Amino acid sequence: MILVFLGPPGAGKGTQAKKLAEDKGFVHISTGDILRDAVRKGTPLGKKAKEYMERGELVPDDLMVALIEEVFPEGRGVVIDGFPRTVPQAEALDRMLSKRGIRVDRAVLFDISDEEVITRLTGRRSCPNCGAVYHMKFNPPRRDEVCNRCGTKLLQREDDREEVVRRRLKVYREQTAPLVDYYRSKGILITLDASRPIEEVYQDLKRLVDEKGN
């Protein structure tokens, strides 16, 4: 089964994809994680991608398509999180899968308001030393802006700053939202209310996937 997760940044796609992949034995392809890893390592792709990510813009199609082709597994269920982000990318993904004799089975839209996204993302903080992640509203550290585990000063990611988040949302609405119509026209779109607690969203997601698998 091939699943594509759609929705704005901060909708919880990555969290749900990880849970589903662990539960079902699927491969989780997160382009966000792959890109951030490339940025940290300073690879040629990472250097190119960093410029776009820090401006809250989409990484160009040619870079993303090449990346997905490189990591896509054979013969296993896949959850794709963060790709495609444009209709041309969706068409490229369809062509790539068609060559392998498979297709996207379900596109899952994680629906959430812009204001909820801004609250979720701008409150995130991470520890540059041990990697712990916090949220200043939902999961705050015991001491303001200091890691509970190692006492290191917490940092806010560049792409979690409010002005960047608002740009990312604008880009999403303009360039990524048309994917909803693309997958709806294929009859494979599912919409979930992503503003609810994680476990509630996950139970609905798992039920829908189980129904498709039967």
Residues that are catalytic:
13, 85, 124, 157, 168
Question: Biggest alpha carbon distance in the chain?
Answer: 53
Asked if 15 contacts 198 with a C-beta cutoff of 8 angstroms, the reply is yes
The DSSP code for 158 is G
Cis link prior to 84 (omega < 30° from 0)?
yes
In DSSP terms, which residues pair with 134 in a beta bridge?
Answer: 125
Q: 3-state SS of 46-107?
A: HHHHHHHHHCCCCCCHHHHHHHHHHHCCCCCCEEEECCCCCHHHHHHHHHHHHHCCCCCCEE
